[in-house]
Structure 1
Amino acid sequence: MSAHPTLGRPVFEPADRVPALTALRTHVHRQDWAAVSAAFAALTDEDDRAVACRVVADQQNAEPFLNEALAADRGDPLVRALLADRLIRIGWGIRSGAGAEHVSPARFRQFHGYLRRAEMLLIDVCAEHPRFALAWYLRVTTSRGLELGLGETRRRYDRLAEHHPHHYAGQQQLLQQLCPKWGGTWEAAHSFADACAKAAPPGAPNGALVPVAQLEQYLKAREMNDARGAEKNLNAPEQRARLTAAAERSVLHPAARSDAYAHTDAHNAFAAAHSAASRPAGAAPHFRVLGDRASRFPWGYLGTGNHEAEFARHRKSALAKG
């Protein structure tokens, strides 16, 4: 890749940048369950399947289509998992990303209602198909949203990890639970991120949990009006060393799959952490790989909170200086 690639407007939707995911989205819009099922059957990597699941769940017309597919075959674990994820997305949209203190009781009731509907689908899938990764990963999400506690969320993650020990999306969900905003501690969050990064195969995206944990702590400090402390923590020698080691073992490792869906999110996490710490040279290698491929998370944590503006601004700076 050129050191100075021709860049355009950032592309945030996976289905807008990956032909297979573009086709999957089209299958949903055409209500073609056979094609959706075949698209998932072609994906053997569970991290890829988790991203594809998200693409389906993000489609506004997905719920009635998936309900029809479920009515045709109530035993299909995939359709139940996809419908559950769509219900989770609807529920989380009602809740919004605001802190709990800013969410009304009525919104919480609606949010929990959707998550309970998802749970009813997922419980049966997990009982009937205990190795089915999508269902256990989604149950880690519902446990957090339903506030079932760290113990239950960890139990569900452990069941996922029995058969899929490096499931990146599942680890992302447990990491959120381990942060103080969901009842955890920074020590637990950073420890888990480090452990996942070190245990994963070389080239896997799991190392990106390290910058995500760092950015969560950065955001909390900013929310407490301590912007200087937030950046200082990111630039602490031990934090920087952990970030560098995680990147070298994961997305910057020669074994990293350039076509892996999750790697876009992972590179964005590393680039955002370096950018938040005012280290454009550190962010540059990730931006060179990314080009126009962006992700909403975690760019909304930086500066103005406008993910598109923050990505574009920091990319320009990094490629000019790094």
Structure 2
Amino acid sequence: MGESTVGKGTVSKGAAEGGGPGGSSVPVSDPFDALPDLAPLRAAAWDDDWAGTQAFFAEIGDRAADVSFAAGLLAGVERTEAYLERAVKALPADPLPRTLLAERYIRIGWRVHGGARAERVSRDQFATFHDWLRKAELLLIEVCAEHPEYGPAWTARLLTARGLELGQSEARRRYDRLSEHHPHLLRAQSQLLQQLCPKWGGSWEAAHGFARETAADAPPGSPAGALIAEAHIERWLDLGGAAATEYLRDVAVRNELRDAARTSVLHPDHRPGRHSWGAHSTFALVFSLGGHLRDAAAHFAALGDTVSESFWQYLPDWKNRFTTYRTAASAAL
């Protein structure tokens, strides 16, 4: 699974122009438009403004989950590597610019790789892909050695571990180092979950086990319950066809998803935030694919006319599918 890309100069329609949870409008999937508090970061990136970028992250402070989330989004803004390289040279001891630049290199590399399985990626693509990831890894090794508690860098190293095919043990080692300081960093957990899937050398037992264990250990109201939905979506994708549909229609799967939603983004203690957006998007998708439209409705209502495209991109013509499912879910109430 790749992370969404935001083009430099790309502007989506604002959520206020949409038609509401039961409407037919095209959903806003650009995170900078869906989550307006991120707009200053995009503006700084478009202007090659390191001072503005630094100020945005200074407001976040030491909240590693939010720093990592924003770093991943900044990485998708085109042609930002030049001003980030200048920031690295100007601030050689600061972990932030090196981590942001590494994230950008990782994104460039993954774009070269594309979304195809390994057997469909050419030798030249792999060589270029690995070159970008090695450049990122060198930066991140330095940051993690100097600042072993710096969660955003360890999170980025989960992406390089997977792309460089360093294996399950190394990915888990990196995650364990991270979780010593940040036991509930959702983006890192989602990245390790990808590593644990069979397509990256893992197993369904490992993937589902990690998702369940992590969700159970999270505080009530944490968006970590969405990891259970992510694991089921990955399995649905792997099965394909009628078997995939039957899998998500299974009562046991549905009940597990319901419990995960109730203990996470539908829990009374949940505090809506940036991570809620992705979690509601994932639950809306998995319930819709399984035909559990009444269960999907609450998540579509929370999203309104916005959606994180992360897992929805698995569907062909996914934006139209989103509006179709959203309308059906509203009608099912």
Quickly name the TM-score band, shorter chain normalised.
over 0.9
- Structure 1 counterpart of 2:136: 118
User: Which protein has greater RCO, CA pairs closer than 8 Å, 6+ apart?
Assistant: 2
Asked if 1:277 is matched to 2:294, the reply is no
Gap change, CA 1:7 and 1:132, over 3 Å in 2: farther
Deviates more, 1:128-137 or 1:50-59: 50-59
Of the three residues 183, 188, 202, the one matched with 1:170 is 188
Aligned counterpart, 2:174: 156
Query: 1:309: how far off?
Result: 1.8
Give, in whole Å, the separation in 1 of the partners of 2:266 and 2:65. 18
Please state how far the C-alpha of 1:70 moved relative to its aligned partner. 1.1
Deviation at 1:300, TM superposition (A): 2.3
Hey, what does 1:47 align to over in structure 2?
65
TM-score, L = length of structure 2: 0.91
Deviation at 1:56, TM superposition (A): 1.1
How far apart, in 1, do the equivalents of 2:194 and 2:89 lie? 34
Q: CA deviation at 1:279?
A: 1.4
Alignment-derived partner of residue 327 in structure 2 = 316
- Distance in 2 of aligned mates of 1:5 and 1:186: 35
Runs of 4+ in structure 1 displaced over 4 angstroms?
Answer: 3-7
Inter-partner Cα distance in structure 1 for 2:89 and 2:21: 52
Task: State the 1:113 CA deviation.
Answer: 0.4
| Secondary structure of the corresponding residue to residue 94 of structure 1 | helix
- Correspondence list, 1:120-159, <5 A: 120-159=138-177
Identity %: 46
Whole-Å separation in 2 of the counterparts to 1:4 and 1:313: 11
1:233 correspondence with 2:247: yes
Q: Partner of 1:257: helix, strand, or coil? A: coil
Task: Read off the aligned partner of 2:327 and give its amino acid letter.
Answer: K
Change beyond 3 A, Cα 1:53–1:7:
farther
Cα RMSD (Å): 1.4
Q: CA deviation at 1:235?
A: 2.2
TM-aligned CA deviation for residue 7 of structure 1 = 6.7
Deviations 1:74-113 (A, max 9, x none): 1110000000000000000000010111100100000000
Aligned runs of 1:277-296 on 2, under 5 Å? Answer: 277-296=290-309
In structure 1, the residue matched to 2:13 is none
Unmatched 5+ stretches in structure 2: 1-19
**Paired position in structure 1 for 2:235:** 217
Summarize the alignment of residues 2-81 of structure 1 with structure 2, pairs less than 5 Å apart: 8-44=25-61, 45-81=63-99
Distance of 1:54 and 1:306 partners within structure 2: 24
1:84–1:122 Cα contact (<8 Å) kept: yes
Moved more, 171-180 or 233-242: 233-242
User: In terms of mean alpha carbon deviation, does 153-162 or 13-22 score higher?
Assistant: 13-22
Q: Mind listing any 5+ residue stretches in structure 1 that lack a counterpart?
A: none
**Is the 8 Å Cα contact of residues 47 and 261 (structure 1) preserved in structure 2?**
no
How far is the alpha carbon of 1:301 from its aligned partner? 2.4
SS of residue matched to 1:201:
coil
1:242 corresponds, among 256, 263, 273, to: 256
